[in-house]
Amino acid sequence: MEPPSLIGSSLTDVAGIRVGHFQRTGRGWRTGTTVVLCPEGTVGGVDVRGGGPGTHETDLLRPENLVHHVNAICLTGGSAYGLAAASGVMAELERRHIGYPVGLDGSGVVPIVPAAVIYDLGRGGMFTNRPDAAFGERAARSASRARVRSGSVGAGTGALAGGLQGGVGMASITLADGTVVSALAVVNSVGKVIDPATALPWEHTGCGLRRPSRSDRQALGEHLAPPAQPLNTTIGVVATTASLAKAECSKFAAVAHDGMARAIRPAHTLFDGDTVFALATGTGPSTDTPVGSRARAAATSAVFEAGARCFAIACTRAVIFATSWPGGPPSYRDLCPSAWATAT
């Protein structure tokens, strides 16, 4: 297992991946969109576990279906309405002539942009204020290879996690052979990321937190009651520089849900639409081990385990790095400032 010093902070630590956020707040708005742009040849997979998912193009990622490569992933607020943001990502990629080639002469493209949503309708005050195509387009245009922000940004702007402000979190791990594995989570969960008994996250590796004071623990406990009408969801992406087949990508996404379950308790409820996408860029150390071989299984298992670990850390960071909005729920930092006394 890698030491904490190898725990990075961004999905973009996987070379070629770019991330962009766009959000609106105030005047009835508190929602946003996060877009992950993929380098050419990126293989995609998905695993949906929640009882109330809102998704787009997930069937396309089934291993038996035609298309193997994806161009972007769109994660957004707005519940089912927010799926409109994916069309804005497609429009931006079409302008760049990025997508699956179509037409008799191959001159046309259809950008492959799977998407998933969280429920944040009305959290800014106006039920009808939700992401549309312009959100997806602007998030895609802002996408960068730099270390983009975590916390209450993009798709996590209107997130609510176990009574606290939710958000976007990221993490990465570099394996011994140089393979990079990373994760991005948008946490808007029914379940709690924080253990009520300790006021620390269930998974706090690499977060630099200490046990909060008694007064902070009491303040936190008052805000961890489950919502009266839970409508939530945790969505996200795991990515790697490893070369994975499409079926292996789907398994990569499935194992990442183990990380979600470590960090959020409970996870995968009927009121969540928990969905994880997986991306394999193939830009890391090359391997010639055949699919199905023992050596291949050992290598991919190491990638999968790292993905689960990254996703757990990303879920935690989504909540502890979140900041509250006027009229919204408190953040973890608001209620437990003493936990940050030795944070790095």
Q: Whole-angstrom distance between the N-terminal and C-terminal Cα of the chain?
A: 22
- Structure confidence at residue 208 as a pLDDT band (50, 70, 90): confident
Q: How would you classify residue 303: left for phi > 0, otherwise alpha for psi between -120 and 50, otherwise beta?
A: alpha
Residues written for the chain:
344
Joined together, the tokens standing for residue 269 give 């409820």
289 has a pLDDT exceeding 80: no
Q: What is the mean pLDDT of residues 12-38?
A: 97
Average per-residue pLDDT for the chain: 90
- Give the closest residue to 14 by CA, choosing from 36, 33, 31, 46: 36
Q: What is the mean pLDDT of residues 161-181?
A: 93
- The pLDDT tens digits for 120-149 are 999 999 999 999 999 999 999 999 998 788
Domain boundaries, the chain: 4-333
CATH class of 4-333: alpha beta
What gap in Å lies between CA 60 and CA 37, rounded to an integer?
18
286 has a pLDDT exceeding 80: no
Q: What is the pLDDT of residue 227?
A: 60
344 has a pLDDT exceeding 50: no
**DSSP-assigned beta bridge partners for residue 69:** 43
Q: What is the pLDDT of residue 204?
A: 85
- The pLDDT tens digits for 315-335 are 999 999 999 999 888 999 999
Using a pLDDT cut of 90, give the percent of the chain over it: 72
1 has a pLDDT exceeding 70: no
- Structure confidence at residue 73 as a pLDDT band (50, 70, 90): very high
Q: What is the pLDDT of residue 343?
A: 43
Q: What is the pLDDT of residue 226?
A: 62
Q: What is the mean pLDDT of residues 149-167?
A: 94
159 three-state secondary structure: coil
DSSP string, 100-122: EEESTTS-EEE----EEE---TT
Joined together, the tokens standing for residue 219 give 């303040």
What gap in Å lies between CA 162 and CA 172, rounded to an integer?
25
Let me know: does 45 contact 278? Beta carbons within 8 Å: yes
Q: What is the mean pLDDT of residues 139-166?
A: 93
Instruction: State the DSSP code for 88.
Output: H
- The pLDDT tens digits for 15-27 are 999 999 999 999 9
- The pLDDT tens digits for 210-255 are 889 989 888 888 777 666 566 788 999 999 999 999 999 999 999 9
Let me know: does 65 contact 105? Beta carbons within 8 Å: no
Q: What is the pLDDT of residue 228?
A: 56
Q: What is the pLDDT of residue 105?
A: 80
Q: What is the mean pLDDT of residues 46-52?
A: 90
